[in-house]
Structure 1
Amino acid sequence: MQRKQRNLFILGAISFAVGLFAILGVIQTKAYLKTAAISQDIKGLQTGLPTIGGGFQLVDKDGKVWKDTDFRGKPMLVYFGYSYCPDICPTALSHLTQAVEKLGDGKVQPIFITLDPERDTPENLQNFAQNFHKDFLMLTGSESQVDHVKKGYKIYAAHVSEDKDAEIDHSSLIYLMDKEGNYRAHFNHQTPSEDILKRVKLHIETGE
């Protein structure tokens, strides 16, 4: 009898511990999701921002060399893609074009960085640039230079097959960087241009 009671006590204690851990896990998950939701709110955050960005040296469609430090003093909207992208990249760049047009000239520097430096030569980027805002800076470089920037901006990119002419599966993020080159917020290719515009205006007016 005593052994049976002891076994029941042990089972009860185990059940209690499992239940407690489950409750704590739910609380922790809700807290994380709440933080994640806030971090992408249109108002942005002053603190707790991830480390994204860093130095780079690339060339534009005219062959001019650009460094990250050349953009100090003006916010940047940075997008990674490739000119042969069939849908996602044109969508993101179209939203960016609409936002930059409504914002007005000179308020922000839109930048496109290729994920396909082998095919996206300066000449190809020159043709590609004609489809979007005139202020767009189209940048390319060597494979190692592009890989360096991808790492800094935490961008994933990989050909869907071994064929180098195949499509590229990649992160579709638009980064808002402040005038010192620090990350402030991000969007994706489905973010409406109005939302991008509001967030950029907020940053220009308040620094958030």
Structure 2
Amino acid sequence: MKSVRYCIAPLVLLCMSIAWAGPQTLGGDFTLRTTKNVEVSLSSFEGKVVLLYFGFTYCPDMCPAELLQFKQLLAMLPADQRVRVQPIFISVDPKRDTAKVLDPYVGFFDKRILALTGSEAELHKVAGQFGADFRYVPTGSGYTVDHTVNTFLIDPQGKLVRIIPYGTPTEDVLKLVTALLP
């Protein structure tokens, strides 16, 4: 019984702090850079449904699984709808995820997935806008990155409409995406 209390108490405090803080609007426009060092804003995808994911190329399992889901999702869409969907992978590891690493990594899954990155400060700002977080954790041989593993679904007007939990079946994500397409 004690362990249940210790698990529930922090959850209750978190919910209370959110309620006291008032409504918080997540999402919003941002500008980061492609692997070709071209600035891209979220607003430049107006008219498209955007699937946004924060990750890094050295991620052992969750990032590849989400990128594979992006690939599968694009393959399941009819061609006329596929062009109205833009998956974006934001690398939160700018030190290791250089253009030489990031381009082939994302391209392996699907060349239509856009890879973006920025400085650590820019990435923390953008992640924070979406309620996401990441931190660098030292390991014996270097570091890894703990990060939020949700996908953020953005409608054609650029508004965050849903946070899709990691592990949501592709068919369910497809329904959410197609519901936003004209």
2: distance between equivalents of 1:163 and 1:76? 37
Aligned 1:70-85 pairs, distance under 5 A:
70-85=44-59
Aligned length: 159
SS of 2:36's partner is: coil
4+ residue runs over 4 A deviation: none
Aligned amino acid, residue 134 of structure 1? K
Aligned amino acid, residue 110 of structure 1? P
How far is 1:50 from its partner? 6.0
Match of 2:67 among 65, 89, 93: 93
Would you say 1:56 and 2:30 are equivalent positions?
A: yes
1:91·1:189 contact (CA, 8 Å) conserved in 2? no
5+ unaligned residues in a row in structure 2: which ranges? 1-11, 16-22
Higher share in strand: 2
2: distance between equivalents of 1:67 and 1:138? 12
User: What is aligned with 2:83?
Assistant: 106
Match of 1:188 among 162, 165, 169: 165
User: What is aligned with 2:4?
Assistant: none
User: What is aligned with 2:3?
Assistant: none
Aligned amino acid, residue 161 of structure 2? R
5+ unaligned residues in a row in structure 1: which ranges? 1-28, 33-48
Deviation digits for residues 102-123 of structure 1 (CA, Å, limit 9, x no counterpart):
1143021100111111111122
2:62·2:149 contact (CA, 8 Å) conserved in 1? yes
2: distance between equivalents of 1:93 and 1:133? 8
TM-score (norm 1): 0.70
Compared with structure 1, are the counterparts of its residues 71 and 165 closer, same or farther at alpha carbon in structure 2 (3 Å cutoff)?
farther
Deviation digits for residues 158-204 of structure 1 (CA, Å, limit 9, x no counterpart):
12227793111111010110112111112133111111101111122
SS of 2:52's partner is: strand
TM-score (norm 2): 0.79
How far is 1:79 from its partner? 0.4
Deviation digits for residues 12-37 of structure 1 (CA, Å, limit 9, x no counterpart):
xxxxxxxxxxxxxxxxx9xx9xxxxx
User: What is aligned with 2:132?
Assistant: 155
Aligned amino acid, residue 155 of structure 1? A
1: distance between equivalents of 2:60 and 2:146? 11
1:95·1:189 contact (CA, 8 Å) conserved in 2? no
Deviation digits for residues 80-138 of structure 1 (CA, Å, limit 9, x no counterpart):
00011011110111112111221143021100111111111122111211221221000
SS of 1:160's partner is: strand
Q: CA RMSD in A?
A: 2.2
| Identical-residue share of aligned pairs (%) | 35
